[in-house]
């Protein structure tokens, strides 16, 4: 009786439970559930249409005789005839459910690039909806070239799409356009007037994502209008006036996250301010820069309140690179506060030489929970690894990308794991260049580290007695789930035997854990 009543048009399940089930289902399952009953249809429709990768799913709802869609890696859409009010009914019924349009939300599923014919833009502008085509839209991120077929209609189309609820606005640059611009040495700028018009129409935007080339003056105008901005993510494709842009960013009272990617662009910050006017930044991510520019950006925006600092794909050049590296590390160590808990520094592997002296200034950041530093020629000894364990007792993730090859190769014995077990009780992910050719040391009495779940020994880790090492790891880290041998760049054939040995160790550890805990 219970099963029968449960299946009877979905009435036996409260809406809250159906919603919870639906939110954990994939889109195909949601579509199947919508066929079960009207009760399920109401819930699943809301979930399916809440987020879309583009306008294409809505355009498919128009009658087939009214539209033409060329499918493939690129989808081209156009209308064959004028649309009637009846044609719009199923579209407007779904469009009011849409909260977000952003291809990035579907990164796990390949999505076609969509180009809209002029007839589509004209139809959208003539939408019979009383207010907006998407009245409850909160997030809109469309490709740079979505409306290139008719640039004169672009502003009118955007005004049809945006709503008073919009809090996230973005322009993503399509890969095809990026490649074409780079190939011909040209950069196409996004329309300045269009960005300013959107800024006027949507004053509540708090999250700005711009991956398109646009003049500094246009960007600054938008930043000045969007005084509620909390998150700014910008990719620069050409030379920009950072002094002017940072001059605006520093006065945004609610700004807490900035991500800047210089891509193939070139710029410099000529005069980082020395005044104390900084936004209350909590997160700063900078990509594709050299060390002087990265340091200038940190000084320009301030890092005193940061919780998260990411410097990714940072280049350092041969002349004076050691002095530049030390200056940057000393700045982070001295200006970062007790709030800074996440530091990720990824240096260009072709240029970077890192040693313990470069890490030492970061020892002042006592509350680090996540620390990842990578470069090409990183050398750090076992004793220095042990010092790191004592410096940062709150670590959850610790990764130093070190060098095994060449004369500077340094490896750590299993003793280093005892140091981390003693000093970092919350550590969950550890990367260390192990050498387990010697017999495992005795584990201090009653020492068990319960938090570690992943150990990366790096490719090429030596090992002799597999079972002894596995027992040592299990006794020290009883909740360890995986032992990895990751490589930097590509796997080397002469390390194949080592990989096989550590895979066996991983299997033994898992068998022991499952036998003891049953999971």
In a domain, 349, yes or no: no
492 shares a domain with 389: yes
In a domain, 376, yes or no: no
User: What is the pLDDT, as a whole number, of residue 2?
Assistant: 38
65 shares a domain with 39: no
11 shares a domain with 119: no
Query: Is the separation of the CB atoms in 217 and 192 below 8 Å?
Result: yes
Strand partners of residue 345? 311, 373
In a domain, 62, yes or no: yes
User: Which of 136, 162, 193 is the C-terminal boundary of a domain?
Assistant: 136
Biggest alpha carbon distance in the chain?
A: 81
- Sequence length of the chain is 519
In a domain, 13, yes or no: yes
The phi and psi torsions of 370 (rounded to 5 degrees) equal: -135, 120
Taking only the tens of pLDDT, the chain with its 519 residues reads: 334 444 444 455 555 555 565 555 555 665 665 556 666 666 666 777 888 888 988 898 899 999 898 877 778 889 999 999 999 998 998 899 899 999 888 776 777 788 888 999 999 999 887 777 999 999 999 887 778 767 788 888 888 998 888 999 988 875 454 444 434 334 456 667 788 888 888 889 999 998 866 677 778 888 888 889 999 998 887 677 788 888 888 889 999 999 998 876 656 666 555 556 778 899 999 999 888 889 989 998 999 999 999 999 888 665 557 888 899 999 999 999 999 999 999 987 655 677 888 889 999 999 999 999 987 667 788 999 999 999 999 999 999 877 665 545 678 899 999 999 999 999 999 999 899 999 999 999 889 999 999 999 988 888 999 999 999 999 999 999 999 988 766 666 667 888 899 999 999 999 999 888 765
Give CA separation, 473 vs 36, 141, 304, 448, in Å. 50, 47, 39, 10
42 shares a domain with 61: no
Domains held by the chain: number: 3
In a domain, 243, yes or no: no
Range of the domain at 20: 1-48
99 shares a domain with 3: no
109 shares a domain with 66: yes
User: What is the pLDDT, as a whole number, of residue 222?
Assistant: 81
131 shares a domain with 70: yes
478 shares a domain with 425: yes
Say how far apart CA 365 and CA 422 lie, in whole Å.
Answer: 19
User: Which of 78, 105, 136 is the C-terminal boundary of a domain?
Assistant: 136
Count of C-beta atoms within a 10 Å radius of residue 42? 14
What's the mean pLDDT when you consider all of the chain? 82
488 shares a domain with 408: yes
What six digits make up the tokens of 146? Answer: 């979505």
User: What is the pLDDT, as a whole number, of residue 172?
Assistant: 81
In a domain, 255, yes or no: no
Instruction: State the Cα angle at 37 between 32 and 38, rounded to 5°.
Output: 115
Share of the chain above pLDDT 70, in %: 78
85 shares a domain with 41: no
Q: Is the torsion defined by CA of 2, 3, 8, 12 positive or negative?
A: positive
User: What is the pLDDT, as a whole number, of residue 484?
Assistant: 92
In a domain, 442, yes or no: yes
7 shares a domain with 83: no
User: What is the pLDDT, as a whole number, of residue 381?
Assistant: 86
502 shares a domain with 399: yes
Tens digits of per-residue pLDDT, 3-42? 444 444 445 555 555 556 555 555 566 566 555 666 666 6
Q: Residue 433 gets which letter from DSSP?
A: -
Say how far apart CA 347 and CA 403 lie, in whole Å.
Answer: 14
Say how far apart CA 220 and CA 394 lie, in whole Å.
Answer: 40
In a domain, 338, yes or no: no
Say how far apart CA 139 and CA 278 lie, in whole Å.
Answer: 27
């Amino acid at each position: 009786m219970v099963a029968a009543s449960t299946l009877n048009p979905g009435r036996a399940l409260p809406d809250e439970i159906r919603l919870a089930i639906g939110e954990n289902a994939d889109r195909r399952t949601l579509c199947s559930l919508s066929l079960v009953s009207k009760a399920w249809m109401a819930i699943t429709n809301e979930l399916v249409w809440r987020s879309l990768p583009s306008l294409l799913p809505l355009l498919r709802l128009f009658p087939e005789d009214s539209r033409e869609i060329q499918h493939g890696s690129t989808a081209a859409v156009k209308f064959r005839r004028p649309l009637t009010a009846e044609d719009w009914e199923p579209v407007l019924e779904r469009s009011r459910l849409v909260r977000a349009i952003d291809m990035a939300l579907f990164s796990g599923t390949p999505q076609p690039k969509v180009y809209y014919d002029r007839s589509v833009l004209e139809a959208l502008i003539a939408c019979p909806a009383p207010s907006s085509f998407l009245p409850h839209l909160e997030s809109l991120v469309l490709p740079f070239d979505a409306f290139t077929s008719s640039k004169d209609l672009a502003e009118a189309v955007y005004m049809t799409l945006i709503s008073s609820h919009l809090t996230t606005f973005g322009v993503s640059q399509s890969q095809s356009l990026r490649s074409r611009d780079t190939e011909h040495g040209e950069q196409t700028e996004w329309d300045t007037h269009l960005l300013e018009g959107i800024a006027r129409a949507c004053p509540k935007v708090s999250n700005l994502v711009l991956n398109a080339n646009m003049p500094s003056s246009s960007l600054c105008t938008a930043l000045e209008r969007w005084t509620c901005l909390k998150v700014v993510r910008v990719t620069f494709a050409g030379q920009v006036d950072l002094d002017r842009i940072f001059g605006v960013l520093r006065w945004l009272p609610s700004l807490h996250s900035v991500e800047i990617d210089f891509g193939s662009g070139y710029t410099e910050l000529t005069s980082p301010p020395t005044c104390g006017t900084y936004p209350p930044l909590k997160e700063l991510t900078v990509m594709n820069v050299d060390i002087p520019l990265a340091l200038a950006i940190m000084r320009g925006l301030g890092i005193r309140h940061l919780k998260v600092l990411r410097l990714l794909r940072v280049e350092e050049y041969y002349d004076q690179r050691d002095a530049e590296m030390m200056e940057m590390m000393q700045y982070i160590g001295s200006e970062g506060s007790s709030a800074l808990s996440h530091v990720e520094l990824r240096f260009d592997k072709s240029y970077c030489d890192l040693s313990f002296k470069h890490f030492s200034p970061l020892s002042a950041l006592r509350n680090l929970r996540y620390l990842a530093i990578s470069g090409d020629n990183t050398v750090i000894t076992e004793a220095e690894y042990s010092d790191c364990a004592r410096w940062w007792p709150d670590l959850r993730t610790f990764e130093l990308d070190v060098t095994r090859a060449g004369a500077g190769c340094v490896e750590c014995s299993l003793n280093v794991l005892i140091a981390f077990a003693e000093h970092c009780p919350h550590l969950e992910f550890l990367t260390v260049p192990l050498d387990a050719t010697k017999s495992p040391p005795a584990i201090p009495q009653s020492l068990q580290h319960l938090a570690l779940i992943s150990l990366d020994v790096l490719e090429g880790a030596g090992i002799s007695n597999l079972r002894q090492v596995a027992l040592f790891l299990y006794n020290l880290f009883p909740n360890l789930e995986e032992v990895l041998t990751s490589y930097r760049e590509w796997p080397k054939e002469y390390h194949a035997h080592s990989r096989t040995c550590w895979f066996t160790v991983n299997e033994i550890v898992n068998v022991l854990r499952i036998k003891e805990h049953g999971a």
